[in-house]
């Protein structure tokens, strides 16, 4: 199936394309401009992006939104994960803020999860929606050079004690929130 990527995030687009290998994934057209992610839920933001890109291109559009939910922070940064340190914050700034606000939190209370909502919007108005979650902990120091965002400090329970940034992309995609959501999405699109 031909799908256009709704995300302008190159790292995210690469991960999605590596998972949806049975589909013809086209990059997001550069001239579309930004879609303001101002919804209060991951599902709402994924829908905003997919519907906007689908409407502009006339092609089914695939989008996701992901949040890191830290239990000791009451679920923050959550839907604001990409903007935790401010509207124009970089991955490094968001990561630094997370580590700063968690500096006094003991290791036993650093539980967290990544949650992804994946959505395809079709020109006829129907949608296919999936979710993926991975549980883990936030380390006190970044480790690894792979991945992006909070990957250097997120250590999944299923990951042999490695952060996402220390894993090879194939290993990460097998257990990650995004991998789970998009494998389920691929299955639903095939049905």
What domains can be seen in the chain, in order of their start residue? Answer: 2-190 (3.90.950.10)
Instruction: Reply yes or no: is the peptide bond before residue 146 cis, omega within 30 of 0.
Output: no
> What is the per-residue pLDDT for 8?
78
**Catalytic annotation on 100?**
no
Whether 29 contacts 4, CB under 8 Å: yes
Whether 120 contacts 1, CB under 8 Å: no
Q: Which of the following is catalytic: 65, 91, 100, 191?
A: 65
Question: Torsion angle of alpha carbons 18, 10, 3, 181, nearest 10°?
Answer: 60
> What is the per-residue pLDDT for 182?
93
Question: Torsion angle of alpha carbons 180, 182, 70, 76, nearest 10°?
Answer: -160
Separation of alpha carbons 90 and 136, rounded Å: 23
> What is the per-residue pLDDT for 183?
93
Indicate the angle between helix axes 177-190 and 10-19, nearest 10 degrees: 50
Whether 72 contacts 98, CB under 8 Å: no
> What is the per-residue pLDDT for 18?
80
User: Which segments of the chain have a pLDDT < 70?
Assistant: none
């Amino acid at each position: 199936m031909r799908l256009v990527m709704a995300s302008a995030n190159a790292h995210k687009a690469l991960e999605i394309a590596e998972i949806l290998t049975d589909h013809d994934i086209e990059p997001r057209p550069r001239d579309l401009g930004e879609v303001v992610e101002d919804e209060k839920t991951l599902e709402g933001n994924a829908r905003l992006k997919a519907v906007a890109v689908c409407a502009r291109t006339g092609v089914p559009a695939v989008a996701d939104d992901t949040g890191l939910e830290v239990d000791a922070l009451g679920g923050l940064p959550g839907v604001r994960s990409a903007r935790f340190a401010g509207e124009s914050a970089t991955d490094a700034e968001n990561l630094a803020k997370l580590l700063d606000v968690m500096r006094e939190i003991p290791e036993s209370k650093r539980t967290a999860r990544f949650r992804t909502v994946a959505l395809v919007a079709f020109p006829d108005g129907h949608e296919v929606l999936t979710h993926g979650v991975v549980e883990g902990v936030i380390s006190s120091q970044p480790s690894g050079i792979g991945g992006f965002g909070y990957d250097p400090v997120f250590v999944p329970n299923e990951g042999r004690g490695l952060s996402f940034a220390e894993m090879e992309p194939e290993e990460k995609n097998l257990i990650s929130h995004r991998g789970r959501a998009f494998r389920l999405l691929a299955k639903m699109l095939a049905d």
